[in-house]
Amino acid sequence: MDIMNALLFRDKGRFDLTETDGPGAIGPKDVLIEVKRAGICGTDLHIFRGTHPANPDIILGHEYAGVVAQAGDSVTHLQEGDAVVIDPNVTCGTCFFCRNGMSNQCDALDTGTTLGIFRHGGFARFNVAPSHMVYKAPKDMDMTAAALVEPLSCVLNGVKNAAIQPEDTVVVLGAGPIGLLFTNVLSHLASLLIVSEVDDLRAGKARQFTPHVLDPKETDIGKEVRSLTDGRGANVVVDATGVLMGDALGLVAKGGKVVLFGMNSAHTAAIRPYDITRNEIQVIGTYIANRTVVPAMTMLHQGRIDVEHYVDTVLPLDDIYDGFRRLGLDPETGERTPMDAVKVLVKP
């Protein structure tokens, strides 16, 4: 365990797949995890491009699952050999927000505590995590499914915040990894589900869950949504991209909800507050997971999320650069590459 391969973020435009020191000794409240699966997230691409903050010289990978290799002396809910999933957003548990049901707004998160972004994460064979952020998984849980708990838990928080009803018409803007998870979940909830996506690969995956998948380059999305809803618009519109709030407001019905999930700190939207007020539109922000890790783990364990359809490939850690290339980024040159996958996992 003294030396292990890992993917480190060095600086904007520079990843480093290299040998590094092992995790070392663990604290009494920590857990040493042998990582079995870790997902490449769009956030990792943003970190490379300098459009998402991260600490230099940290091991990336915030979507991961594995097996307990060692538990600290004060850890009582986990033991060696347990299958586990990780909530990487390390909260304090004592601030105003943590104690009032809003742990996803924990004061500690503002200081940079997320595993795989500000602290060492899962793109390595071993990782040390605070035990209160580690959840015991069922013994027979598939590790590929377990690695999807983090993104699904974030999606479920958005679904919860939107309070979607069985009679609702829902539009999902963007069928990337998050948009597809929204689509999968909402296919069981909404009376009518419409997805807008320009990429053929992603659109094809979305069609497994709804026949109403539209290409905004070829179709007037607003006209089509109104046609399918007798002119009213959608009850709920989910922006899974972070750049389509204006479009979402143009698609939502009176009394409807716009759910903003995707994040892009550089994007601004021109809106008329009058329209929001006059039409009683609710604009709902939703950020990471909040008491949704266990429901996400349960859904994945029960097979209610189509993992095989969602994950394109699982690669050895040594081939992680190939995974990034399949997702549209060459980490060695910084150039964009043809995208031929939606979700790639690695197995350290």
For 141-151, how does the pLDDT look when each residue is reduced to its tens digit (9 = 90+)?
999 999 999 99
Residue 204: predicted pLDDT: 97
Render pLDDT for 83-122 as a digit per residue (tens, 0 to 9).
999 999 999 999 999 999 999 999 999 999 999 999 999 9
Tell me: do 161 and 279 sit in the same domain.
yes
Residues in the chain: 348
Asked whether residue 305 is assigned to any structural domain, the reply reads no
Instruction: Report the pLDDT value the prediction gives residue 297, as an integer from 0 to 100.
Output: 98
Mean pLDDT for the chain overall:
96
- Mean pLDDT (whole number) for 41-67: 97
109 vs 115: CA distance, rounded Å? 11
How does residue 265 score in pLDDT terms, banded at 50, 70 and 90? confident
49 with 107, same domain? yes
CB < 8 Å & 24+ apart, contacts of 301-304: 301/137, 301/138, 301/141, 301/145, 304/188
106 and 186 fall within a common domain: no
Domain that residue 225 falls in = 153-285
Has residue 159 got a pLDDT over 70? yes
CB distance 238 to 172 below 8 Å: yes
Same domain, residue pair 7 and 144: yes
87 with 223, same domain?
no
Nearest-angstrom CA–CA distance, 181 and 187: 10
Q: Which of 251, 285, 319 is the C-terminal boundary of a domain?
A: 285
Residues 7, 139: one domain?
A: yes
Number of domains in the chain: 2
**Which amino acid, 103?**
S
Cα 281 to Cα 168, 192, 259, 268, 333: the distances in Å are 15, 19, 11, 19, 45
- 39 confidence band (pLDDT: 50, 70, 90): very high
d(CA 339, CA 329): 8
Q: What is the rounded CA–CA span in Å between residue 249 and residue 264? A: 17
- When pLDDT is cut at 50, 70 and 90, the band that residue 1 belongs to is low
User: Domain holding 93: CATH number?
Assistant: 3.90.180.10
Instruction: Mark whether 341 and 281 lie in a shared domain.
Output: no
The CATH number given to whatever domain includes residue 228 is 3.40.50.720
Domain assignment present for residue 294? The answer is no
Average pLDDT (179-203) is: 97
- The verdict on 239 and 118 lying in the same domain is no
- How confident is the model over 324-336, as pLDDT tens digits? 999 999 999 999 9
306 in a structural domain = no
Taking the model in full, what pTM does it have?
Answer: 0.96
Q: Structure tokens of 338?
A: 């043809």
